[in-house]
Amino acid sequence: MNVTKTTIQNPILKGFNPDPSIIRVENDYYIATSTFEWFPGVQIHHSRDLVNWQLITRPLNRRTQLDMLGVPDSCGVWAPCLSYHEGVYYLVFSNVKSFDGVWKDTPNYLVTTQDIRGDWSEPIFLNASGFDGSLFHDDDGRKWYTSMLMDHRKGKFFGGIILQEYDPQAERLVGEVHYIFEGTELGCTEGPHIYKKDGYYYLLLAEGGTEYNHAMTIARAREITGPYALHPQNPLVTSKNNPNLELQKAGHGDLVQTQNGDWYGVFLVGRPLTTRGRCITGRETAIQKFTWDKGEWITLAQGGNEPEAEVDAPNLPSHPFEPEPVREDFEADVLNIHFQSLRLPISAEWASLQKRSGFLRLYGRESLASFHYQSLLARRVQHAHIEASTCVEFAPDTFQQMAGLVCYYNTSHYYYLYLSGDEAHQKYLNIIACDKFNTTELLETLVDVSNIERVYLKAVIQQADLQFYYAIEENNWIKIGGILDASILSDDYIQYHDGRYRPAFTGAFVGICCQDLTGNKKHADFDWFDYQEII
């Protein structure tokens, strides 16, 4: 039997894949992660060996399932919980509508399917009293929904963990709401998951906030409604006491047992560019091996409570996937799965692979500041050193029409190398930087490309340095503008940049976009898009 290599390299899901929820169905493992304002909603990765992972689907792919029109940055899909019971996959998720201020609007839903790669059901509303909902299937046939509770009174915010029964026939929560856990001194108690083992109900939690004090804690009780006693060696996993660890921000996770009886846990981490610095790859997913003997508390297999970058792999058959191609040439009938849009589905109305064979045509819509109708397609930045490039044909009639290559975090933080026009019908290249809501055109002298049909654009990110390039002949790259600070495309920069907290939970993206602020939907044609790690 061909067995996996002996170690797993963390993170297993690189680049903006937070809040992991893991299940095993026979020999297959699946992880669901948060997608926030990016559409389709919820990433699901697949593995058979816990070493190699492949993105296979995003189940929330219709507006009837997920309507995010107008949601603010870093709202939308939070903390999905994936579970499986008697041939049915269950997915619980929040569609957060607002979070910046005392009021938090967080409706929670459930969708189901019998084919994880197929269509999922229309959503069932659960409640809106908190977020990070989770569904537990007890061995007596009852189903229980648990989540954190929001309490706006006197700035408290976190009101503890609640539990309520879910009736699958009535498709709603029923019965008493049980208040089962108030949290620990770490605070910010969220992300609950329940497990049943050896006569105990175990409650796994995220605490400490999703930054450098983040942690996973665990408690247990004889009854599902409690009372829950804390693990005597909490927190179960954390990086908060060691700023030198490669994997920081460890917390918000889930547990799974292999078919051989081993226990593993997945949880979010960050890889800062400097000690406790900025993480442009966002919050990612890592894995650790655990020891969980009968009747005993679960512990990290290597001892202690700190995550390690290299982990012992389970004794399972190796199952690698084909390497991802560097280039998306837009020859297929569907887009590469790594592309996502903002807030709304990708449709032929604004992104067409059919209008011109071998090209992706984007019809210009609203600005990069819009929470509504953007024509932007992008993929995660998953590595500290990357190169992304594209070839675009665009004939703007006015300065209000733009198209090009964007390095994007949210509507107020991005860098944009773009083509546009002017009143004299000239076509030029420029760079826009948006930082802390301030938008600046960076080039004092515009690059005239009036007589050039095809223009090549490239972004190179090396740690915190971003350099743009352009070419009028393929691969004859010319620097444009100076070195820019890519680290502003991070949670860490945005959350506290003006003296107060702002929601920022995603990661850096790189992609292509087109705007037409006249409302006439001027189009741009993109021939290909490349993304590759620089070794």
- Rg from Cα positions in the chain: 23
Q: In the annotation, is 530 catalytic? A: no
Q: Which two tokens stand for residue 156?
A: 């408290």
CA angle 93, 99, 105 (to 5 degrees): 60
Catalytic residue status for 312? no
Instruction: Return the beta strands (E) in 208-274 as ranges.
Output: 215-221, 229-230, 237-238, 248-257, 263-270
User: What is the DSSP code (8-state) at residue 71?
Assistant: P
Active-site annotation holder among 19, 37, 132, 308: 19
Q: Does residue 131 contact residue 148 with C-beta atoms inside 8 Å? A: yes
- Tell me the CA distances in angstroms from 159 to 105, 178, 189, one per residue in order: 15, 12, 8
Residues 189, 192, 196, CA angle at the centre, nearest 5°? 135
Helix, strand, or coil here: 60? strand
Cβ neighbors of 156 (< 8 A, separation 6 or more) are none
Task: Identify the active-site residue in 37, 49, 73, 190.
Answer: 190
Q: CA 481 to CA 471: how far, in whole Å?
A: 14
- Residue where the block lists tokens 């179960």: 236
Q: Which helix (H) or strand (E) is 167 found in, with range?
A: strand 157-167
In angstroms, rounded to a whole number, what is the distance separating the alpha carbons of residues 181 and 449?
A: 63
Positions marked active-site: 19, 190
